[in-house]
Structure 1
């Protein structure tokens, strides 16, 4: 293993968050090629107990997917999301960047501040760029933490509609044209915990 691979390996091992190629380049000595080092390391770790995974724009060490059962414990603390939060998260993931007004239009009901605050507090959703439209409304996008949690390289790897319906996460009726999630018509937002474990959102996808 050459020196630049050793340095990249050390940075990834010590980092609590995925590290981008740009961040690696800023930390490595001049003349190093972090992309080349990453490619070499990923080949070295391919098929081992830990691998180097791409998560959004960053890279991180992760347990090999087929060995995840070894990491399980008998007591697992599950974060639970309300139905409103699950629907809002799905809309952000599939329509990002999306404004609050657009979320409300798709859901057919007002989105309470607490719903978005919960998703932001969980670090699954963050503020995106403001739209260059009257009022310059803020947009919302999913975070690398969301991608990391569900093992996604990017939002393009999200399951399709048929997979979500098969998992029981969407109604079986066809959605309206151009819609990636069904419209939920209700008089007011439902922020009560409906017992949906956050970790189960895409388990069957």
Structure 2
């Protein structure tokens, strides 16, 4: 068979997506075919469109994130699916989510700059947790005494929060509206939320590593000025979400 029909190609692409443990780009999908059978990107996109339409009336959805395409269970079914595991969804402190939000919206940024905005120190445990989850990483150093590390979000961060790019982050107005809403403790649903859980300002009972109360809302924090970044610009980050050429 020299060329796949759309029907056959669709089933092959579906098998690849179901077997993969991570999102698949068009290039990665094409690479599994022998050269003489390799479909063009337009043909793969056509097969993906068929699969997306098929999934509309099912419990799963086929979405595109920064790393490529993947199947996932629709958020409507999360309450039942989550019961397959005894382990409860992770709960994250407000301090951790504020730190992550500042990195996401103001990147690249140093730890000291985050502390200047929040008015409290950022614990090493918070940074370590974000790095362990591969949501942030060091992308450079500011050329000042001590050469502090510059932190930015990763492609894994985008994939986890169902984002194709940084442009898909919620508008700051949405964060301000949430911060101004009634105060209550938010149950963290990071593995279930259909939109970016950066909007969930979760209080973590007894586990917040900061020693001072946060004096400002998320909207206020994001409005604070940060020192100008000269060595690494926001635009440069779009090139840093690709896997390292190792």
Q: Which residue of 2 aligns with 1:33?
A: 40
Alignment root-mean-square deviation, CA = 3.3
Structure 1 alignment gaps of length 5 or more: 184-205
Determine the structure 1 residue equivalent to 2:3: none
Identify the residue that residue 11 of structure 1 maps to in structure 2.
Answer: 16
- Aligned partners of 1:39, 1:80: CA distance in 2, in Å? 39
How many pairs does the alignment contain? 179
Residue 94 of structure 1: CA displacement?
Answer: 0.9
* Alpha-carbon spacing, 1:42–1:147, altered in 2? closer, same or farther (3 Å): same
> How has the CA–CA distance of structure 1 residues 181 and 88 changed in structure 2, closer, same or farther, with 3 Å as cutoff?
farther
1:54 aligns with 2:72: no
Q: With the length of structure 2 as denominator, give the TM-score of the two structures.
A: 0.58
CA distance in 2, matches of 1:26, 1:54: 18
Q: Which runs of 4+ in 1 moved over 4 A?
A: 65-70, 134-137, 169-174
Contact residue 53 and residue 61 of structure 1 kept, 8 A = yes
Query: Offset of 1:165 from its aligned partner?
Result: 2.7
C-alpha contact 1:104 1:110 (8 A) present in aligned 2? yes
Q: Is the 8 A contact 1:100 1:139 kept in 2?
A: yes
Query: C-alpha distance in 2, partners of 1:24/1:16?
Result: 13
Aligned residue among 76, 80, 89 for 1:78: 89
Among 130, 147, 151, the alignment partner of 2:140 is: 130
Residues 4, 33 of structure 1: 8 Å contact kept: no
**Contact between 2:103 and 2:152, CA under 8 Å: does it hold in 1?**
yes
Q: What residue in structure 1 maps to residue 162 of structure 2? A: 151
Instruction: Output one character per residue of 1:42-90: Cα deviation in whole Å (capped at 9) or x when no partner.
Output: 3333223222211113110122345445534396613122333122111
Q: Unaligned regions of 5+ residues in structure 2, if any?
A: 1-5, 180-200, 202-213, 226-246
Structure 1 residues 21 and 100: CA distance shift in structure 2, 3 A: farther
Q: Which has the larger radius of gyration?
A: 2
Report the CA distance shift for 1:77/1:146 in structure 2 as closer, same or farther (over 3 A). farther
Alignment-derived partner of residue 52 in structure 2: 45
More off after superposition, 5-14 vs 147-156 = 147-156
Question: For residue 202 of structure 1, what is the aligned residue in structure 2?
Answer: none
Whether 1:180 and 2:190 are equivalent positions in the alignment is no
Q: In structure 2, how many angstroms separate the alpha carbons of the residues matched to 1:59 and 1:173?
A: 31
Counterpart check, 1:63 vs 2:94: no
Q: Tell me the residue number matched to 1:162.
A: 173
Residue 116 (structure 2) pairs with residue 105 (structure 1) = yes
SS in 2 for 1:156: helix
Q: Secondary structure of the equivalent of 1:91?
A: helix
